Structure 1
Amino acid sequence: MHGLGDVRFFDRVAPLYDRVMPPADGEALVAGLDHATRPIDRLLDVGGGSGRAAAALTGPEIAVVDASLGMLARARNGRGLSGVAGDAGRLPFRDASVDAITIVDAFHHLPDQEAAIREAARVLAPGGALVVREFDPEHPLGRALVAAERAIGMASRFRTPAALAAAFDDAGLDPRIVDRGFGYTVVGIRRGG
């Protein structure tokens, strides 16, 4: 499963995904988005699948970007969201054209995480925020999740909050670790804003 990572799995589970997954943590996303130094009118939910995270947000124009057509169909038909088929490592958007990007519970599935961070930095306008909600592989529940995803054959690659913050800094984003735990939030603000 190279290239687009675990896409085939998500195409298969799309019909059941929202029934088994808890809602996204809207409060954590808003806390992360509050770090932006520009108004958030246009937001991309990258790796947004069925629109679970987008559904937890109100206000901006939101487009769900995902490589799984099955999951995008759920976002469009089940939630009425705008959906764009795309690869996080090659976002189909102009430079500095969006105010915020969220990646919720999906970053570990991206096959080229560095490219995804660079692309997020490219399409964010100065002062815009990249908000990533992820799972800490050093937390006891995180260790169990890592083992479970490996056991079912996923190519997941988890990072600690500090490692993700360092990668954001390398890509020209001002990193902030907003919260820690099994699920954590790291924000990167596009410099120059």
Structure 2
Amino acid sequence: MYGVGDVRFFDRIAPLYDLVMPSASGPALAAGFDLAERPIDRLLDVGGGSGRAAAALTGPEITVVDVSMGMLTRARAGRGLSAVAGDAGRLPFRDDAADAVVIVDAFHHLPDQGAALAEVARVLAPSGVLVIREFDPTHPLGRALVAGEHAIGMGSQFRTPDALATDLDAIGFDASIVDRGFGYTVAGVRRESEP
């Protein structure tokens, strides 16, 4: 899911991660989930790490998926969440297994973003929604974040909200930009006729 250097970093900082990271934006995520055209009973938190985003959500059955064992231990032990070791480019779930997928502050860490989006399209049921919360590399704070992550050896690949929405449209989602800023949210509803 992450580049090798990114996984090692997250394994090392897992015990401190929740102490230094702000909570996920529940309202921004909820606005994306509101676009779903089906009930959300099963949700996958891809790249969910310690379960920080899952903790901001209520209602559906949530499974955190990540490759960092240190982070998954925090999700299970610290938050009591269902957690599965898995790579975003090869999700360990059957077709149409989820009603919604969320990726919060993690998409830029995925080494093969195209493969990850294809896998999300595969495991997401028709009319289900993908909600991605990310950082805009063109925002002044985004430029600083890009420089900082590259300085510590991360292989981060940041996308603008418009580029991400275009990518989602191209693979069978009706994409919307929910909000903009340093942190932005893009949501896409999987079209019925496409995987």
The answer on 1:18 being equivalent to 2:18 is yes
After superposition, residues 104-119 of structure 1 pair within 5 angstroms as 104-119=104-119
- Percent identity over the alignment is 76
Aligned to 2:65, the other structure's residue is in SS state strand
- Counterpart residue identity of residue 80, structure 2: G
Cα 1:5–1:37 change in 2 (3 A) is: farther
Deviation at 1:7, TM superposition (A): 0.8
Partner of 1:43: 43
Deviation at 1:3, TM superposition (A): 5.4
Deviation at 1:5, TM superposition (A): 5.9
Partner of 1:57: 57
Partner of 1:176: 176
Whether the aligned pair in 2 keeps the contact of 1:14 and 1:70 (CA below 8 Å) is yes
Normalised to the residue count of structure 1, the TM-score between the two structures is 0.97
Listed as ranges, the gaps of 5+ residues in structure 1 are none
- Counterpart residue identity of residue 30, structure 1: A
Partner of 2:126: 126
Q: Distance in 1 between matches of 2:40 and 2:154?
A: 34
Listed as ranges, the gaps of 5+ residues in structure 2 are none
- Counterpart residue identity of residue 104, structure 2: V
Deviations along 1:12-43, one digit per CA (max 9) or x if unpaired, are: 10000000001100111111110000000000
After superposition, residues 1-193 of structure 1 pair within 5 angstroms as 4=4, 6-192=6-192
Deviation at 1:68, TM superposition (A): 0.3
Q: Distance in 1 between matches of 2:44 and 2:4?
A: 18
Aligned to 1:188, the other structure's residue is in SS state strand
Q: Give the number of aligned pairs.
A: 192
Whether the aligned pair in 2 keeps the contact of 1:5 and 1:109 (CA below 8 Å) is no
RMSD (CA atoms):
1.1
Normalised to the residue count of structure 2, the TM-score between the two structures is 0.96
